[in-house]
Homo-oligomer: A and B are copies of this chain.
Amino acid sequence: MVPRYTRPQMAAIWSPEARFRIWFEIEALAAEAMADLGTIPRESAEAIRREGDRRIAAISPADLERIDEIERVTRHDVIAFLTWLGETREDGSGMGEHARFMHQGMTSSDVLDTALNLQLVRAADLLIESMDALLAALRRRAEEHALTPTIGRSHGIHAEPTTFGIKLAGHWAEFARCRRRLVAAREEVATCAISGPVGTFASVDPRVEAFVAERLGLRPEPVSTQVIPRDRHAAYFCALAVAASAIERLATEVRHLQRSEVREAEEYFHPGQKGSSAMPHKRNPVLSENLTGLARLVRGYAMPALENVALWHERDISHSSVERVIGPDATIALDFALARAAGMMEKLTIYPERMRANLESLGGVVHSQKVLLALTQAGMSREDAYATVQRSAMATWENLGTPGGRSFRDNLLADPAVTALIAPEALDGVMDPQRDFTHVRATLARVFAEA
């Protein structure tokens, strides 16, 4: 992922050093388990741990280059790593003959897949942390604006009043679900396989797998082929794609609220910030637009993850190039997006007066359902009531802001079909905006009860 959309803590999980550190940890733990079982000498396991720890702790760019150099000959990344890990240096340091007891009965995928899963688990932990920051921001703003009236819109058209708190609570609830899906995705990939070339434990005892899994906080994979099955990873990347889509929904809302004709909310505009190279007056919702693009990227990564499932026989390596790219790219992009969304919502400038002005801008037609219900309650058929209310509403709408334009209330009161059933003072009760908010507190309470 490009540096622009990368946070260091997520990048760190995917660095070569971090990967080699995990690879070594798996080999060292496996050696310890084998020593416990008597498969290899205890002193070899100890030497592997001691010398390996030392070498890994001091890993340098020159080491990375050395590993690459070996790989250019062997064309095999794990063998290159093991060779480097076990080779004796000019100063005589190294595991010496104990090196041959590393990786006994194991296959590269035992290391590669367990390591990948550990990286994905750590990435999920970070994503959940970023999600929590977003949830906290959304909840704080939702409670702050629990009863701030604003117009609810369907199809982009004013529908009925709601509150800004309800809007944000809807997003909170969606991200709370996304968080649960991330937790489930983390569980999906929290497995370990040390089961040999075709998953039969032909030359490695299953207790080695159990030991390594337990130490790494993973579960043994019940049955692997050569690899840990990729449906787990597909489900993981799908969970990321859904979360990204939820971010897009939030971003889309902010973009709409900031547009010039709406202006109900605005991303924080920094001192010194410039909106446009040409037009000094511009303040653009660039964060939310950026989030929209990032959502597209993360969604796009789900497709190759799904295609990765159908490996041939006990495995082929076609999944590897995909995962080398989307492992980091999807988690880094989503992590960045979550953090950016949290910051955006924390600092979002909200304009309650503007919300109220917009709410009232259509002459009151947004109360049409309440009048419809009052008419049916008063005995009019639903079809007639609908036609009656639609007539007044359309008349209001079409003459908005024109000289002869009347409010919805006035148009209704000019209609004998209405006044025959509802007295003017009763109409005001029917259209009382406070009626819209009766259940808002209870709704918010039930949403956040899920936290």
Structural contact, B293 and A322, CB atoms closer than 8 A: yes
- For A256, list chain B residues within 8 Å (CB): 156, 312-313
A153 interface residue per 8 A CB criterion: yes
Shortest distance in angstroms between A179's beta carbon and chain B's nearest beta carbon?
A: 11
User: In this complex, what residue of B is CB-closest to A368?
Assistant: B281
A426 within 8 A of partner (CB): no
A245 contacts B229, C-beta separation under 8 Å: no
A317 and B289: CB pair below 8 A?
yes
Partner of A397, one of B97, B281, B297, B312: B281
Q: How far is the CA of A108 from the CA of B155 in the complex (A)?
A: 13
List of B residues within 8 angstroms of A277 by Cβ? 76, 78-79, 82, 103, 106-108
Judge whether A358 is part of the interface by a CB distance below 8 angstroms. Answer: yes
Given the known A-B contacts A277-B78, A376-B101, A393-B281, are A304 and B299 also in contact in the complex, defined by CB atoms under 8 Å?
A: yes
Please classify how large the interface on chain A is, using the bins under 10, 10 to 19, 20 to 34, 35 or more.
35 or more
Indicate if A361 sits at the interface (CB-CB under 8 A). Answer: yes
Residues in B with CB closer than 8 Å to A246 are 231, 309
Residues of chain A in range 155-185 having any CB-CB distance to chain B below 8 Å: 155-163, 166-167, 169-170, 173-174, 177-178, 181, 184
Contact A279 B160 (CB under 8 A): yes
- A29 interface residue, CB < 8 Å from B? no
Complex formed: what's the CA distance from A170 to B317 in Å? 18
| A158 CB to nearest B CB, Å | 4
Q: A89 interface residue, CB < 8 Å from B?
A: no
Choose, from A122-130, A415-423, A432-440, the stretch at the interface.
A432-440
Interface string of A227-247 (1 = CB under 8 A from B): 001011011001101100110
Cβ–Cβ < 8 Å partners of A315 in chain B: 154-155
Query: Which of the 9-residue segments A113-121, A131-139, A217-225 touches chain B?
Result: A217-225
Neighbour of A443 across the interface among B79, B157, B200, B366, CB < 8 A: B200
Q: Is the CB of A197 within 8 A of B289?
A: no
Write out the residue numbers on chain B whose beta carbons fall within 8 Å of the beta carbon of A177. 188, 229, 231-232, 235
Establish whether residues A258 and B152, one from each chain, have CB atoms under 8 Å apart when the complex forms. Answer: no
Is A60 part of the contact surface with B, judged by Cβ < 8 Å?
A: no
Which residue of B83, B161, B310 is within 8 Å of A248 (Cβ)? B310
- Are the CB atoms of A289 and B316 closer together than 8 Å? yes
A282 partner residues in chain B, CB cutoff 8 A: 154-155, 157, 159, 368
Scan residues 286-322 of chain A and give those whose CB is less than 8 A from a CB of chain B: 286, 289-290, 292-297, 299-304, 306-322
Contact B203 A369 (CB under 8 A): yes
Partner among B202, B245, B286, B293 whose Cβ is within 8 Å of the Cβ of A234: B245
A283 within 8 A of partner (CB):
yes
State whether the Cβ of A272 lies closer than 8 Å to any Cβ in chain B.
Answer: yes
Q: A166-B199, A274-B79, A281-B397 are in contact. Are A226 and B309 (CB under 8 A)?
A: no
**Contact partner of A260 among B157, B202, B274, CB < 8 A?**
B157
Contact yes or no, B304 A318, CB < 8 A? no
| Option from B86, B152, B387 in Cβ contact (under 8 Å) with A198 | B152
A385–B97 Cα distance when bound, in Å, is 13
CB atoms of B318 and A293 under 8 A apart = yes
Whether the Cβ atoms of A197 and B107 lie closer than 8 Å is no
Minimum CB–CB distance from A56 to chain B (whole Å) comes to 18
Instruction: Enumerate A8-33 residues with CB–CB distance to B below 8 Å.
Output: none
Query: How far apart sit A280 and B388, CA to CA, in the bound complex (Å)?
Result: 9
Q: Are B306 and A302 in contact (CB under 8 A)?
A: yes
Distance A289 CA – B286 CA, assembled complex (angstroms):
24
Interchain residue pairs with CB less than 8 A apart (29): A5-B324, A82-B277, A97-B381, A99-B381, A102-B382, A153-B259, A156-B258, A160-B198, A160-B279, A161-B200, A166-B223, A169-B223, A170-B199, A177-B232, A197-B279, A199-B443, A200-B436, A202-B436, A222-B447, A222-B450, A231-B242, A249-B310, A256-B313, A261-B261, A261-B262, A281-B393, A281-B408, A293-B317, A300-B301
